[in-house]
Amino acid sequence: MHRRIAVLMGGVSAEREVSLKSGKGIAEALRQKGHEVHEVDIAEESIVPVVAVKPELAFIALHGRFGEDGGIQGLLEEAGIAYTGSDPQASRAGMDKMASKCFFITHDVPTPPFRLVTAAQSWEKVEAAIEEIGLPLIVKPLRQGSSYGVSLAKTGEQVATGLAEALKYGQHALLERFIPGREFTVGVFDQAALPVIELRHSHQIFDFNAKYTDRGTERIAHPEIPREVAEKLQELALAAHRALGCRHFSRVDLMLENDGCPYVLEVNTIPGFTEKSLFPLAAREAGIPFADLCERIVDLALTPVAPGVEV
């Protein structure tokens, strides 16, 4: 069935350029499937241009603030417009790294030890947090994606520098224990885990440059790990997705420590849909071409869910 679909892209966050690429790819895929597609560039925190299109569905390809934080989802619900991806509550939980950690802990999903830091905290309290976690550690903005503002700190001075950068994106940041080991990501689609993807790069951490500009970064499908380890990573990804109450799809980032212990880092409720993006790659490995993936997401978003049925 052909639908009138608004693809929401751009947005107001630091991830605007990535979002535009995601949106363009989705729009082209849905046109290939015969849908009437309207590309809507969200330039402010408003859905007025979406309402003007009168779509049957809003396909959200927005990353970061007013995309993954539940803001636009809440407005679309108020306007009675169906949309793809997670609801406002799950979106907020996924975007807020502190909230995500709390949900992980509540649902017994292993995640690296962490401490919350605020811009108003004294350095003495930051030093106490560093002491509790131990160096090296990762410094992260509380609500940001695409690894903007993320850094690896091996000394107190590097923590201070990292916090100065992370706090450009808000008044809170997270200090998280650095997990030495191999990095993986697992997509979740329609309540099933997709094949495991390993990330190999020459950077100290999988930062923005490693994700989007370094041609040497490898995205390895079906990596060389024991079958039981791959299944454990998939199991944890699905558990993290469900812990936050996500629906339709997500992408879960994990670390496998050198001693074999797995940890969930975070859940991306609207992962990238660019030519370099990991979620579409995992779907292709599961036998779902990009255009089919986009159309199946549309179908999921427009399928009524019976009361009591887990989504």
Packing angle of the helix pair 290-302, 16-32 (nearest 10 deg):
90
Query: SS3 string of 193-206?
Result: EEEEEEEECCCCCC
Q: 251 forms bridges with which residues in the sheet?
A: 187, 268
- Output the CA torsion 212→72→7→213 (10° steps): 0
Which residues are catalytically annotated?
Answer: 15, 146, 212, 251, 253, 266, 268, 272
Say which amino acid occupies 214: D
- CB neighbour list of residue 86: distance below 8 Å, 6 or more residues apart: 73, 94, 244, 245, 246, 247, 248, 250, 269
- CB neighbour list of residue 209: distance below 8 Å, 6 or more residues apart: 203
Q: φ, ψ for residue 181 (rounded to 5)?
A: 160, -155
